[in-house]
Chains A and B, each alone.
Chain A
Amino acid sequence: MNAEAVNGSLSRAFFALLRRDLLLAFRRRTELLFPVIFLLVVVSLFPLGIGPGPQLLARIAPGVIWIAALLATVISLDALFRSDFEDGTMEQFVISGHPLTLIALAKILAHWLVAGLPIVLMSPLLALWMNLPTESLGVMILTLAIGTPILSLIGSIGVGLTISLKRGGQLLSLLVFPLYVPILIIATAAVMAASDSLPYTQFLGLLTAGLITSVTLAPFAAAAALKISLS
């Protein structure tokens, strides 16, 4: 087979898998909606717990929204490879001869579309609840749009490593939260800088660099982790 034919068959496999994962997500709507509802509930608890002082809420808004986004992502992460792993589909993927890295990338993209994108879309509502200043709303949305794919990508490595364990989900959170710390720091720093009318583009640049790095490296690591888990 020549290189063009190989590329064609790989991209067909990629989109077939992406389409299937999205279809499966819509067939299991409770799994689809749970992380989003969880996010809304966690954020709405903060004004109730610490009192509705507008200044205080505005101050903690970036941190609260971002921490809620981390929690919601970790909740949905375990589903990333689990069903394919448990019903034998992952073995079929390995035998198909398609690179596991490509398969991991398609599944991570599907995960972000289902679990990460809704967080980005919900963020204006969350910002309103938390009384986030309108001038930093755009930056908040941007950090989530750049940051949530990183969460899915880094998380996929943890999922790959813990997938063969019965209760892997619990270990997973311990494994990935430390890796999420830099993203949390950079993203909230960007939003806080925007709230204080300070320059924030350097933080967005750092986040984008993180996204590019994780897009290029995380699928390889996730595929290697899956191979270890399969044997």
Chain B
Amino acid sequence: MLTASQIVFERYFEPVFEPVDFELKSGELLLVTGANGCGKTTLIRVLAGILHPTSGSIDLQAAGMAYVGHYLGIKDDLSVLENLRFMRDFLGTSGTSCEELISEVGLTRVVEQQARTLSAGQRKRCALARLLVSQAQLWLLDEPYSNLDQEGVELVDRLLDNHLGAGGACVLATHGAHRPEWGGTIDYHLVSGAAA
């Protein structure tokens, strides 16, 4: 579904990480680990197409891509429901019921509240609901466990199980406090380019 060959990304003529090579198939999870500052976020942003690799190539064969990064892309002045409805209309995935997805991520109680009143963990859950709205085959998750309580961490794992079980794929970057339990997990240890 996603093949990366010899991806290099340079910032100010310094490679951010060592060349990245992997092949991700349907039903597989690529777990990117590494120290702070080794380029996990940069790699995810390169895979997402926000940044362009300096060299190497990315071959993407997925129906849709969804991304949850450090900036969640939730509008403070819209309610949880309005945020999701906008994304649904914008992406054109009309078959999904936003209310059901909101209850799945446990935000039913705050559905009409403006997003500015939500806690960091609730905002993260709202962003996770957007993953489901997108109906994308490939998920790119950058530190999805941060800010979440124990129940929220379990929620991420459950969503991942469902997604991967249904033939999706996921690239997940984490500094390693918690790791998801999934059979088809490929471990990828990212090494900072400056170390070389």
Which A residues fall within an 8 A CB radius of B?
8-9, 12-13, 16-17, 20, 23-24, 27-28, 83, 86-89, 91-92, 94-98, 230-231
Contacts and interface: CB of A to CB of B under 8 A. Distances in A.
Contact of B75 (A87, A97, A98): A87
A86 B71 contact: yes
B136 to A, nearest CB: 9
Contacts of A92: 67, 73, 87, 130
A78 B71 CA distance: 20
A208 B69 CA distance: 43
7 contacts: A8-B92, A13-B92, A20-B90, A91-B45, A94-B49, A97-B65, A231-B52
Given A23-B78, A95-B67, A231 B51 contact: yes
Interface in B82-130: 82, 86-87, 89-92, 130
Main secondary structure of the interface of A (DSSP, over half): helix
Contact of B90 (A13, A23, A24, A230): A13
A98 to B, nearest CB: 8
B75 A24 contact: yes
Contact of A94 (B50, B90, B91): B50
Nearest to B11: A231
B52 A95 contact: no
Nearest to B65: A95
A9 B91 CA distance: 8
Contacts of B92: 8-9, 12-13
A189 to B, nearest CB: 41
A88 to B, nearest CB: 3
Main secondary structure of the interface of B (DSSP, over half): loop
Interface residues of B, number: 28
A87 B74 contact: yes
Contacts of B51: 230-231
A17 B64 CA distance: 19
A20 B90 CA distance: 10
B75 A95 contact: no
Given A20-B78, A95-B50, A231-B51, A87 B71 contact: yes
A21 B35 CA distance: 39
A97 B64 contact: yes
A24 B74 CA distance: 12
B76 to A, nearest CB: 7
B115 to A, nearest CB: 10
Given A24-B75, A89-B73, A95-B48, A13 B91 contact: yes
Contact of A27 (B64, B73, B77, B91): B77
B71 A88 contact: yes
Contacts of B76: 87
Contact of B73 (A9, A24, A87, A97): A87
Contacts of B73: 87-89, 91-92
A9 B72 CA distance: 24
Contacts of B78: 20, 23-24, 27
Contacts of A89: 73-75
A214 B89 CA distance: 28
B55 to A, nearest CB: 15
A91 B48 contact: yes
B70 interface: yes
A28 B89 contact: no
Contacts of A88: 69-73
A60 B91 CA distance: 50
B66 interface: yes
A87 B72 contact: yes
**6 closest pairs, A vs B, by CB?**
A88-B71, A16-B89, A88-B73, A27-B77, A9-B92, A92-B73
Contacts of A24: 75, 77-78
B91 A96 contact: yes
A228 B83 CA distance: 27
A231 B54 CA distance: 12
